[in-house]
Structure 1
């Protein structure tokens, strides 16, 4: 069956490959040994092997390597994978490689032409409009949502006080999904209370399918994707996801927001721009809301979970975070927290940044060349897929002494001479538009947990098994022990 599917794939891409004969230029970059027929997907067989395999390729063959899907003489796709700082600086800091890579197209059925995937003038226009939704004054109003939803999380965590361990991943993911839904759409999803479980399940299914399509010769192309069971799972999931967001939009679109003094959600702001300036259609608004929902909850949940893991295993750093909280709020575990308070949590910010260095929620990002580009005396041909291995760059001793150690202090005086060495939110013109939102949300949730609980490692100590899915996760969960503070 696998051989048959591979032959189908080869015939489907034949004419595409005739136009891409200049891929031979990529042979200037070393290619690690791979299966003659299947390429490197025969080695990277699961999401849990991506980090180790790619790290070994980089260590053994150089900072930039060529990987392929398909046979040596007739590849479906060749991809450059890099941890080269100069390459990061060239591509992310310039304007010659702005188009997202081919793998992002697996998200198109869900997110349409939203900000994550779109490019060209369409992307520039939407980026300019959406930037308004992340203005400082807007973010200040979102803090109350972070805090109220976080209070529900604390109630959930109280059930695990003194127990040997708790896997925080699901609890944190439900919390961030509630936050993103209320801030993005102004609607309470209440997933922490067990409501809207079908929506949660659909989000999780789509996140899994997106990454697995990149690792499967059958699922990779649309013309063969329908042969897999995931095609039908995706259809069902998208019906639920799109149906929910569309129903919320329709319930709000006729409401005026002119002169409104109450907090406005991301959706309210987009509808206001659409009504005032007539520049966004309803389907465009839905695509951007779906994009924000996708990008905004799973990445933040990943970050928070790994922060808890790091604090559990580094009690001295956790104590410094706690003392900073006491300096701000005294012994009050549940103070009224403002945006200014969150901004004053300087040491916690260092802890967050150091965790995102070691465990970047988005460990790889991709771009596609839309024309021949010259880099470092080498011509990279049009239609080349480029993967920037952020996880690998973040652990480079060249930029981070003792890179495997958790040292938040390194960010108290971080040398900005190499701005593209630390890119947890990407960089350049296509950086994450919601990074300030994410930082405030993580500070709110983490500070609330630290004020209420001492976070300890489990016995025996829980060892992470990292997996590159839509975001970085641990397939065996992220387990800690919680002890209620007196």
Structure 2
């Protein structure tokens, strides 16, 4: 009985909030009314399109269908949120180059408990200041110095795959994720990774748990509220993973800070090739960043540097396996006069019959950007991407 009363009270409050927000957004509805899009009803918008299956896979497919049905741009309203979907390259270029589209959508708030105000999640005012401060870490001279690291880890990856030649199909994701992690740790944090130790395995596993939950919550409206989410069993797993990720990064930062102050550091090559973390710590010593901000940007760098690269590489290998003619073209020597002999080996990557991307690998249905318009007439952008969940959807 009490549970029924509680549900009724919560439902009434949610309805009142929706009605208030709807009329508060009335001006935005009218301003975007000339943009074509699926039929939208009061309060629910076009949410009826998702009836029957609210998994992230189905939601992405439905939104993709809207994108391919209507010309760019098109209006898409879900509940009380007004979004504009664009997929024409020129439209995307125009919006991305605008200084008015740097504000993040509220969906990024789900990751703030971990990476706080890192560049991916930071509000506009913080993003502008921090981006200018961090920019020197990405000058071409520094980036070019990483090539040797990438070459070294690529050779290690090829050697690891050598044992799989002429063997059965195998999962490439675990190899690629570790190689990408090696790259970002050594190039940006100054932390060479030679073997997959237990702490590193735990870090990667913790990242997966956080990513899965961050992808799940946007598809479950009742989990948008932190209060409700914190009452679910999965929230404990999420916060434990976040706690481990933060402690891992803080340990790396402290070790690097101590090394920079030690007598071991100081040779000409190290001073010339300062890592991203080195520059962050230098600016922290000058009062530009707090230790927590250094941690937030470092976690953002690790995440963006290894997870995204590994998934794109998975997708690239799938495409090469699906198009043997392109694969053959890409594996030919580009310079006929080169000194190193490359023996033809036929098709290096083959796609297993009936195979698809593993649930941990990326799934793409096109290049689309979503721009959310809020009541203050600011525009927040977020990419239309998809990540399969391994965790239970029964929340």
CA distance in 1, matches of 2:375, 2:333: 51
For residue 214 of structure 2, the aligned residue among 210, 216, 231 is: 210
1:54 shift after superposition: 1.9
2:136 — aligned with what?
132
Matched, 1:20 2:25: yes
Contact 1:101 1:385 in 2 (8 A): yes
Matched, 1:228 2:232: yes
Q: How does 1:470-485 map to 2 (within 5 A)?
A: none
Q: Report which stretch shifted further, 127-136 or 257-266.
A: 257-266
Structure having the higher Rg: 2
Deviations 1:16-36 (A, max 9, x none): 556434343244434435798
CA distance in 2, matches of 1:142, 1:237: 30
Contact 1:145 1:182 in 2 (8 A): yes
Change (3 A) 1:474 1:241: closer
Contact 1:114 1:288 in 2 (8 A): yes
1:291 shift after superposition: 0.7
CA distance in 2, matches of 1:18, 1:283: 40
CA distance in 1, matches of 2:170, 2:197: 18
CA distance in 2, matches of 1:474, 1:56: 21
Q: How does 1:177-326 map to 2 (within 5 A)?
A: 177-189=181-193, 192=196, 196-254=200-258, 255-256=260-261, 260-262=268-270, 263-275=273-285, 277-324=286-333
Contact 2:177 2:306 in 1 (8 A): yes
Contact 1:99 1:368 in 2 (8 A): no
1:468 — aligned with what?
386
1:138 shift after superposition: 1.4
Matched, 1:32 2:42: no
Matched, 1:99 2:17: no
Contact 2:149 2:183 in 1 (8 A): yes
Matched, 1:112 2:100: no
CA distance in 2, matches of 1:6, 1:159: 59
1:146 shift after superposition: 1.5
Contact 2:182 2:192 in 1 (8 A): yes
CA distance in 2, matches of 1:244, 1:41: 39
CA distance in 2, matches of 1:133, 1:283: 19
1:54 — aligned with what?
63
Contact 1:218 1:224 in 2 (8 A): yes
CA distance in 2, matches of 1:132, 1:302: 27
3-state SS of the aligned residue for 1:280? coil
Deviations 1:322-343 (A, max 9, x none): 223675552279xxxxxxxxxx
Change (3 A) 1:385 1:101: same
CA distance in 1, matches of 2:195, 2:18: 42
TM-score (norm. length: structure 1): 0.63
For residue 164 of structure 1, the aligned residue among 165, 168, 172 is: 168
CA distance in 2, matches of 1:361, 1:29: 23
CA distance in 1, matches of 2:190, 2:287: 22
- Structure 2 unaligned regions, length at least 5: 344-361, 391-395
3-state SS of the aligned residue for 2:85? strand
1:367 shift after superposition: 4.4
3-state SS of the aligned residue for 1:171? helix
TM-score (norm. length: structure 2): 0.76
Contact 1:190 1:196 in 2 (8 A): no
CA distance in 2, matches of 1:264, 1:386: 32
Change (3 A) 1:361 1:331: farther
1:89 shift after superposition: 3.8
2:84 — aligned with what?
80
Q: Alignment RMSD, CA only?
A: 3.6
User: In proportion to residue count, which structure has more strand?
Assistant: 1
- Structure 1 unaligned regions, length at least 5: 334-357, 373-381, 390-466, 476-486
